[in-house]
Amino acid sequence: MRYGDHAWIKNLESNNDLNGRHVMLTEWVDERQRWRCQPVGWTFAGGDVCVRPRNLANEPPQRPPSNTSTPEAASANQQRTVAAARLVSLMNREGELRSGALLLPGTREHLRHKLCQHELLQAQLTLFQARSDRSAPLVAQDQLIARAQQRVSEHDAELHPLVEAWKLSHASLPDIWGEEDSDGDDEDLEEDLKEDPQFREWRARRPARTPTRTPAMHAGVAAAAPASAAIC
């Protein structure tokens, strides 16, 4: 190895979360008998890292091929596919409901948006957990899942009083997937809102009154979606 070479850290014991990380050799530190390495595509709290030559590889680590021939592996892949598809669907729906909550001010639309955010955060957590056996280092996976769980808890604390207040005068929660009742909404709209050009344009752009999700999605089985939707 020499200055400027690219390498991959391997077989560390005390900092095993760095194993597999990509680095570039920047300096040989003779008194420590280590290469000073610059992280490539990631950051380290101390800046550069110093690594013994025996802990550096010229090629990236080879990951074991995924085995989808067993029923367990096929089931795990199906769960990840469903989780990714549901996340994409909820991301799209959350954007629709956010626009609706801004243009149709009221408790109902605000609650629908918050309920959709709850489902979106839960779907994100489910996808992270379904991918917990994949390529990211274990420590990074645990941190990702912990942050997602924290966001779900924080949002639930905000959502709970809204749900309780709604239940005082309603038998059930509003459906995040259904269209709003135009008759009921029109009764609550102020005249200036109904005449607002932006509101009329938004209404005209909306698709026909069909559910955003498909029956298969409602049952928890969805078509494949790119895993990169739920990217962090």
Question: For residues 77 and 68, what is the distance between their CA atoms, to the nearest angstrom?
Answer: 8
At 116 the pLDDT is 92
What residue ranges define each of the domains in the chain, with the CATH number in brackets?
6-57 (2.30.30), 72-218 (no CATH)
Strands 56-57 and 49-51, bridge-based pairing: unpaired
pLDDT digits 0-9 by tens, 3-15: 888 999 999 988 8
Q: pTM for this one?
A: 0.48
Instruction: Report the helix count and the strand count for the chain, using DSSP H and E.
Output: 7, 5
Question: For residues 7 and 3, what is the distance between their CA atoms, to the nearest angstrom?
Answer: 11
Type and span of the H or E element at 50: strand 49-51
At 156 the pLDDT is 92
Cα of 232 vs its chain's centroid, Å: 6
Closest CA relative to residue 217, chosen from 176, 173, 182 = 176
Closest CA relative to residue 166, chosen from 87, 115, 107, 105 = 107
At 62 the pLDDT is 72
At 11 the pLDDT is 92
- Residue 176: what residue type? I
In tens digits, what is the pLDDT along the chain, a chain of 232 residues? 788 889 999 999 888 888 988 999 999 999 999 999 999 888 888 788 999 999 999 888 776 555 555 677 677 777 778 888 888 888 888 888 888 888 777 888 899 999 999 999 998 888 888 776 554 555 567 778 888 899 999 999 999 999 999 999 998 999 888 765 443 444 444 444 445 555 556 556 655 544 444 333 333 333 333 333 332 2
- Give helix 71-103 / helix 107-130 axis angle, nearest 10°: 160
Question: For residues 181 and 232, what is the distance between their CA atoms, to the nearest angstrom?
Answer: 35
